[in-house]
Amino acid sequence: MAPNKLDRPPYVHNWVRYNHPDQDKTTKALVAFAISMPRITYVAGATIIRDRIALKLDRETGLRAAQSRGHKKSRPYVTEFVTAFYDYDETRNYSGLPSYDEYVAPYHISRDIRVPVKPLIVISENGVLKPIFVVGWASMPLTRFQRRLLMIVLEDAVFSLTDFQQSPGEFVCFPRLEGTNSGARSSEVWHRGDYESLSHAELKEQIEIYLAALTQAKAILADRPATADDLHKNETSVADPRQTEMDI
């Protein structure tokens, strides 16, 4: 089961987390991804936030949904996430109309491997189409290298399209405030151009590193004896690994 999971990369914001300029580090990250199960998923929160943007879902209804939907262990984190988004939107005030419903642009790593690139929503705001990417991580784990990698994938998969060439896009996350266990979160937002994309030569080199690490990770997993935990995961897992947040 684990090698099959590696053949279906998660959505791009999670995929870049397993990429490092060092092959051994990338291999270790891929092995960890393959044998892990999501501890927390923010899928329920993402749906609520999309409804907030598209339908102006009110705060009370949104928070009530956050506290009752999805896996029970995830609900406190989803509630933090949704609360932080409502706080952010009081200032941001998303007003655009939804467009390109369920838009997914695959990014080809090889002939057989594609990374799904899916904004939470695409809106038309002041005459400009804006793909909005929102993630629920309780910390911001992406290194500068990974942010640059994310940017060039988004450029190739989304912003190269005619309708998005003038778009600033928007990537939003809500890490917990440092030094507090209250669950309070702040907003971190960046747009297209805030981070220099990897060059195409750097991207080519990183894809080569990733594919070599992928081969190495599969070999490690093939030699790894199955455990009772592995069997339990295979029997109980119904989550699509592309959609789940693999860490909190």
Report how many domains make up the chain: 1
Range 120-134 average pLDDT:
92
Does pLDDT of 195 surpass 90?
A: yes
173 occurs within a structural domain: yes
- Most confident among 63-67, 100-104, 184-188, 238-242 (mean pLDDT): 63-67
Domain housing 179: 42-202
Tens digits of residue pLDDT in 65-101: 999 999 999 999 999 999 999 999 999 999 888 887 6
pLDDT tops 50 at residue 228: no
Beta strands 114-117 and 121-125: pairing type? Answer: unpaired
Q: Are 63 and 49 in contact (CB under 8 A)?
A: no
What percent of the chain lies above the pLDDT cut of 70? Answer: 88
Q: Name the β-bridge partners of 97.
A: 124
Residue 75 lies in a domain: yes
What are 31's two structure tokens?
């092995």
Residues 159-176 as b/e (b if ≥16 CB within 10 A, e otherwise) read: beeeebeebebbbbbbbb
88 in a structural domain: yes
Inter-residue contact 174 to 185 (CB < 8 Å): yes
Instruction: Give the H/E segment covering residue 90.
Output: helix 75-92
- 32 occurs within a structural domain: no
SS3 129: strand
Question: Is 207 within a domain?
Answer: no
Q: Is the pLDDT of residue 229 over 60?
A: no
104 is a domain residue: yes
Q: Of the ranges 11-15, 35-39, 73-77, 144-148, which one carries the lowest mean pLDDT score?
A: 35-39
- State yes or no: pLDDT of 212 exceeds 80: yes
| Residue 25 domain flag | no
Using a 10 angstrom Cβ sphere, with 0-12 exposed, 13-18 middle and 19 or more buried, the burial of residue 153 is buried
pLDDT at residue 234, rounded to an integer: 40
Is residue 242 helix, strand or coil?
Answer: coil
Whether 231 has a pLDDT exceeding 70, the answer reads: no
What tens digit of pLDDT does each residue of 33-72 get? Answer: 999 887 889 999 999 999 999 999 999 999 999 999 999 9
Confidence of residue 224 (pLDDT cuts 50, 70, 90): confident
Structure tokens at 96: 């655009």
User: Does the pLDDT at position 18 exceed 80?
Assistant: yes
The confidence band for 177, taking pLDDT boundaries of 50, 70 and 90, is: confident
pLDDT higher than 50, residue 157: yes
What are the residues whose beta carbons fall under 8 Å from the beta carbon of 89, sequence distance 6 or more? 52, 53
Q: Which pLDDT does position 180 carry in this prediction?
A: 67
Residue 124 lies in a domain: yes
For residue 238, what pLDDT is reported? 32
pLDDT, mean of residues 99-108: 79
Contact 45, 66 (CB under 8 A): yes
Helix, coil or strand: residue 67: coil
